[in-house]
Amino acid sequence: MARKTKDFTGSGRRTTIRRRLLSSLAVTALIGTMCVFATPPSGATPGTPGVPQSATDVFKETFENQNATATGIKLGSYTGGAAANTSTYVASPKWLPAAGQCNGWVLNAGTPLNNAVKNADAGCDTQAWTTLQSMGTAIGLFKGLPPATARTNQILSEFTNGNPAVQVGPGVEFQTAKPITTGIVPGHFYLASAVYAAANCASEKPSAGRGDPSLSFNIIDNQTGSGPAPGTGAGTIVNLATGLNPCTDAKASVINAGAYTYHVAALQSAAFRASASTTSLGLQLYNASGAALGNDSGFDDPSLIDATPQLDKVFSPSTAKVGQTSTLTLTITNTDDLQAKNGWTWTDNLPAGLTISGTATTNCPAGALTQTASTVTATGNLSAGLPSCTVSVPVTSATPGSFTNDATNITASSGVLPPGSTTVVFTDADTPSISLVKTSDVIGPAQYALGRLVTYSYKVTNTGNVPLSNVIVTEDAFSGSGTPSPIACPATALAPGANTTCTSTYTITQPDVDAGKVTNAATATGTPPTGPNVSDSSDTTISATPAPNLELLKTVSATALGSPPKAGDLLTYSFAATNNGNVTLTAVAITDQLAGISALTYTWPGVAGTLLPEQTVTATATYPITQADIEAGSVTNQAIANGTAPGAVPVQSDPATTEVPLTAAPALTLTKAVDASALSTPTAVGDVLTYTFTVKNTGNLALTGVAVTDQLAGLSALTYTWPGAAGALAPGQSATATATYAVTQDDIDAGHVPNAAIAHGTTNGGADTPSNEATTDTPLTTAPGISLVKTADDSALSDPTVVSDTITYYFTATNTGTVTLSNVSIADQLAGLGPITYSWSGVVGVLAPQQTVTASATYSVTQGDIDAGHVANSATATGTPPGNPPTTSPPTGTDTPLTTGPQLTLVKSASPSDEASYTLGQAITYSFVVTNSGTVTLSNISIAEGAFTGSGTMTAATCPPGPLAPNGQLTCTATYTLTQADINAGEVRNDATAHGSTPAGVDVPSNVSEAVIPASQSPAAALLKTASPTLVDTVGQIVSYSFRITNIGNVALNNVTVIENAFSGTGTPPDVTCPPEATTMLPGAVVTCTASYSATSADIAAGTITNTATVVATPPGTTDPVTTTPSTAQVPTLVPTPTPTPAPPKPTPTPAKPTPAATPAPDTTLAETGGGSGEGALALTGATPGPLLLDAAALILAGGLTLLIAHRRRQSRINRG
């Protein structure tokens, strides 16, 4: 395909000169355009009415979001940045690279013409590509970029470099494929713009078929998707500009870049006004030229611009009087594109208090105004090229105040940006006013004399709220026979509140003296800023009428009075009588009515008794105050001056009065002393204190009803000694009084007797006068002490003493001191002692002197006590005296001896002992079950072998180490091997004795126990069931069951188990727990199992809780169990009833140990039962004096049974020969 040939003629010097010239022109053009295309502000700013501002970009594609330095970027592969709504773009097919026209490429001066470009677009040959590279630089220079930066400026190519015979045809070069919504406001005006460059313009190289670009700028209203074709969406295409051509644009710049010349222009459309339904816009650049020759262009910065005019408003003047007019000027200012902006509208609602005072006017094209009393609605146009237009609204206010009109006052606005604020202040209306006061310097008739120069003063004051000018004073009427001087004013203009004093003079003439007076009247006048003049008049008269007058001035000096004043203190009076008339006075004298005042001493200005006009006579006198004056509270004094005027006319002054207040200072002083010489050591109740009181009138008023009040309860009545009348004290007088007080126990407890007293008196005026509070605090000596007596009652001890036997201790604590003790308690060092129960005769924990408290406590004897053989005990009593640390009695002790019963029981058995095992070489193990059946702990347990019929040697018995407590068991063992001699003898008989030592070292032997082999097996067991406590009276009270199991047979028992047979309780039955030793029990062994039960209300109501159990065990070599006979435990129940508190026990001396009584008859309430199988099975019933005795009995029976069986077997062998 033949390509069209681009014609770039010119070479050599001519080309160089032309390029330099064009470069110079280009730089000049750039200087002129850089300001125009500087980055506009983010939005129009109110406050510059009439001065167009830059419009605001809502969409701008710089083609810089992807870097084309490495390779050209197809338009369809390019995505814009944030300023470009991150949009992608579409174009008509022939305006994309695939059409082979070198159209639709994003590139810069450094973008290489590589295979990727050439393979995709046959129209991109070297000439076309280099032209486009330099075109990017030219547009960058046009935009004001530095040369180095301009080389990186990226543009979109529209070169139409195909077959000249094939027309590209009109088409869309660029269209947003994503709707623009941000910044789209209904009613706003929007423009489309782009920077275009063209090369090979027809104007430069006219030739057949050569054409220039013919561009249309369109807006897509309410674009959806990628817009209408070539997009796949929808929207209404609105054409804003057609025929745009950078080659012929009047503002285009010619720029040389590389080897080429370019015409570069910022092309812009007319304005589009978004409708009320507009929610999105799109941008479309369309080239109507389809020429393949020429029509070589590229562009940058396609933009959608908000070019909405700015509304501003201002009041002028900003300050006016109420009722005057201020003009509100509203300016609609175009953006600097000066495109037509038609059809804007708005309504301004005046602030409350402002009204429209005339007809609003406008100079806006097609302007139309509608107004009410407080609103104006405007619509109009801004024609193309018009920077601004205005609407003027005259406003006024009937009330003073400040009124601000801002954007919130604008409603129904469309096509303008909101304004800033403006304020107008209306002040009060004008109230002009003036005042005049006229006076003279003539004071009194005496100055009305011939030849007297009189000075008249005219005080003029601006009493209004506006300034006054042309201020003058004029004489209206003057009765003098002469002529006054002209009135002179120092100021003729007065601000509101200002004043000026004008003056004139006049000399009194003889006719004036003859007339007796001169009358003068004047008027002041001033001119306000508006309206008529204001004026005011004033007059004054001077006269010579005889006017005798005498004035008396009286003062008093009280500096000699005491503080407070007292009778005899002096007051000094000063008098000044002045002739204030215009005639001479004679026989002048001053008379003072105060009785007791001294004679007056005068000082005359001339002749004694005579005063010329304006002359003064002075006088002084003194007065000693009296007690009556002090009681009255003041000295009131009055004087008058008398004289005679010519013609024997008497003249008297007004009375002159002074009143000297005398400070009333009633006061009583009380002192108090105490005589403690009668107190005992330590102080005892009833000891006497003697108080002495001295009360003195230390004030300056007489007092009556004087009495001393002492707050000490129990103080005797006071006995007074008065200087005169009882209860009366003149200033300085004193009275004394005495009283006695008997010390109480509370005082001794407190350790002192604090006492406060106060005296009161009454003035003649009825005012109460208290004295100071006089106090004493008499310390009392105290001797706190406490004693304790302790006894022990051992009557409940068993013989011998057993664990849990009780000792009852009795205590008597006595307060042996002189003070009450609190927190009294008894401390006993005996560990395990029960709580101490007190019997108080008064307040719990408190003992008055000599008062006692008794107490008791019980103690359960421990095994340790029995082992020690006694219970030693010591206690102390402690109490706290008032204000002192606790005091403690000396320790008091008891030592109670305990009787002991050491005893050992031995059961010896052999294993195996059956006849089948009685063979040569059989190893026999002897077991020695040793039980401490006494009451003391035994140690050093050993086995002493007795008779032994075996022919061989049995090993020594070995026993576990350690002490053996009462009821405790241990098993010793020895071994023996049967010999032929033993087999021949038919049996081996062996007995032994156990030994132990008491804590005191006394040896305790056991019974002798014998074992015979072979022996008949006689398994048997015994069960004793007990319950604690012995009485239940509370729901939830725990009943503890004990199951004592004894192997009373001659063989071991395995798997010993307690079986509950019958239980009357209504709660959860008790669960029996046995120790591990119950798994296997040797003959004579004892184990104790336990269980517990919580009583219910039904159990208590039933009257008893009954529980029956048996024991089941398995002997060796058989599966037949051994079962004991049942054992039953019954616990009575009782519904508790309140009982009176018993009287405290009386301490008793330790009783003598009672002589042991005869053993009582057996108590069959509890029975230990046994059961077994085979020969020799035994059953036991009887008394239970104690588990130890039952165990012992069981062991003895077991031993006897063993001997009986052995005897029968031996007799059987004899019988068999």
- CATH code that applies to domain 550-641+649-661: 2.60.40.740
Domain with CATH 2.60.40.10 in the chain: 434-543, 1020-1146+1165-1171
Tokens 């009821």 correspond to what residue?
967
**What distance in Å separates the CA atoms of residue 460 and residue 509, rounded to the nearest whole number?**
28
**Would you state the pLDDT for residue 1108?**
94
**What distance in Å separates the CA atoms of residue 467 and residue 472, rounded to the nearest whole number?**
14
Domain with CATH 2.60.40.740 in the chain: 310-427, 550-641+649-661, 786-897
**What distance in Å separates the CA atoms of residue 742 and residue 685, rounded to the nearest whole number?**
7
pLDDT by residue (tens digit) across 892-905?
Answer: 999 999 998 899 99
C-alpha closest to that of 1111 among 1181, 1070, 1061: 1061
Enter the DSSP assignment of 1032. Answer: B
Let me know: does 1045 contact 1088? Beta carbons within 8 Å.
yes
pTM exceeding the 0.75 threshold for the entire prediction: no
Q: Are strands 601-603 and 586-592 parallel, antiparallel or unpaired?
A: unpaired
Give the Cβ contact number of residue 221 at 10 Å: 19
**What distance in Å separates the CA atoms of residue 440 and residue 456, rounded to the nearest whole number?**
4
Enter the DSSP assignment of 444. Answer: S
Domain with CATH 2.60.40.1480 in the chain: 917-1013
**What distance in Å separates the CA atoms of residue 911 and residue 908, rounded to the nearest whole number?**
10
Give the sign of the dihedral formed by CA 197, CA 202, CA 207, CA 213: positive
Let me know: does 297 contact 366? Beta carbons within 8 Å.
no
CATH fold of 1020-1146+1165-1171:
Immunoglobulin-like (2.60.40)
**What distance in Å separates the CA atoms of residue 456 and residue 436, rounded to the nearest whole number?**
13
**What distance in Å separates the CA atoms of residue 102 and residue 118, rounded to the nearest whole number?**
9
**What distance in Å separates the CA atoms of residue 297 and residue 263, rounded to the nearest whole number?**
9
- The beta strands (E) that lie in 861-964 are given as 870-880, 887-888, 892-897, 904-911, 923-932, 939-948
Look up residue 922 and give its two tokens: 């059989």
Give the Cβ contact number of residue 366 at 10 Å: 12
**What distance in Å separates the CA atoms of residue 753 and residue 780, rounded to the nearest whole number?**
7
C-alpha closest to that of 174 among 326, 12, 283: 283
Look up residue 503 and give its two tokens: 């003056």
pLDDT < 70 positions in the chain: 1-45, 163-166, 208-209, 513-514, 516, 545-546, 582-583, 1015-1016, 1136-1217
Q: Classify 786-897 by CATH class.
A: mainly beta
Cis peptide before 912 (omega within 30 of 0): yes
Task: Provide the terminal-to-terminal Cα distance of the chain, rounded to the nearest Å.
Answer: 152
**What distance in Å separates the CA atoms of residue 1197 and residue 1022, rounded to the nearest whole number?**
12
Q: Are strands 73-74 and 1127-1132 parallel, antiparallel or unpaired?
A: unpaired
Let me know: does 707 contact 727? Beta carbons within 8 Å.
yes
DSSP 295-362: -EEEEEEEEEEE-PPEEEEEEESSEEETT--EEEEEEEE-BTT---EEEEEEEEEPPTT-EE-S--EE
Give the sign of the dihedral formed by CA 494, CA 499, CA 503, CA 508: positive
CA distances, 1079 to each of 661, 769, 1052, 1076 (Å): 116, 100, 10, 6
Alpha helices in 879-996 (DSSP H): 980-985
C-alpha closest to that of 926 among 1006, 1011, 988: 1011
Let me know: does 300 contact 139? Beta carbons within 8 Å.
yes
**Residues 6 or more apart in contact with residue 822 via CB below 8 angstroms:** 845, 846, 879, 880, 882
**What distance in Å separates the CA atoms of residue 500 and residue 468, rounded to the nearest whole number?**
12
**Residues 6 or more apart in contact with residue 634 via CB below 8 angstroms:** 659, 660, 661, 662
- CATH code that applies to domain 434-543: 2.60.40.10
Helix (H, G, I), strand (E, B), or coil: what is residue 804?
Answer: coil
**What distance in Å separates the CA atoms of residue 1060 and residue 1073, rounded to the nearest whole number?**
12
**Would you state the pLDDT for residue 1117?**
74
Type and span of the H or E element at 1191:
helix 1187-1216
13-44+54-306: which CATH number, 3.30.70.20, 3.40.50.300, 2.40.50.140, 2.60.120.260? 2.60.120.260
DSSP 1057-1085: EEEEEEE--SSPPP--B--GGGGEE-TT-
310-427: which CATH number, 2.60.40.740, 3.60.20.10, 3.30.200.20, 3.40.50.10470? 2.60.40.740
Enter the DSSP assignment of 748. Answer: H
Contacts of 771-775 with C-beta under 8 Å, sequence gap 24+, read 771/667, 771/668, 771/669, 771/670, 771/695, 772/668, 772/669, 772/670, 773/670, 774/670, 774/671, 774/672, 774/693, 775/672
Give the Cβ contact number of residue 252 at 10 Å: 23
Which amino acid appears at position 492 of this protein? T
C-alpha closest to that of 577 among 641, 519, 532: 641
Q: Are strands 1104-1114 and 1122-1123 parallel, antiparallel or unpaired?
A: antiparallel
Give the Cβ contact number of residue 2 at 10 Å: 9
Let me know: does 995 contact 957? Beta carbons within 8 Å.
no
Look up residue 6 and give its two tokens: 């681009």
Q: Which CATH architecture has domain 917-1013?
A: Sandwich (2.60)
**Rg value, the chain, Cα:** 69
Domain with CATH 2.60.120.260 in the chain: 13-44+54-306
Greatest C-alpha distance within the chain: 201
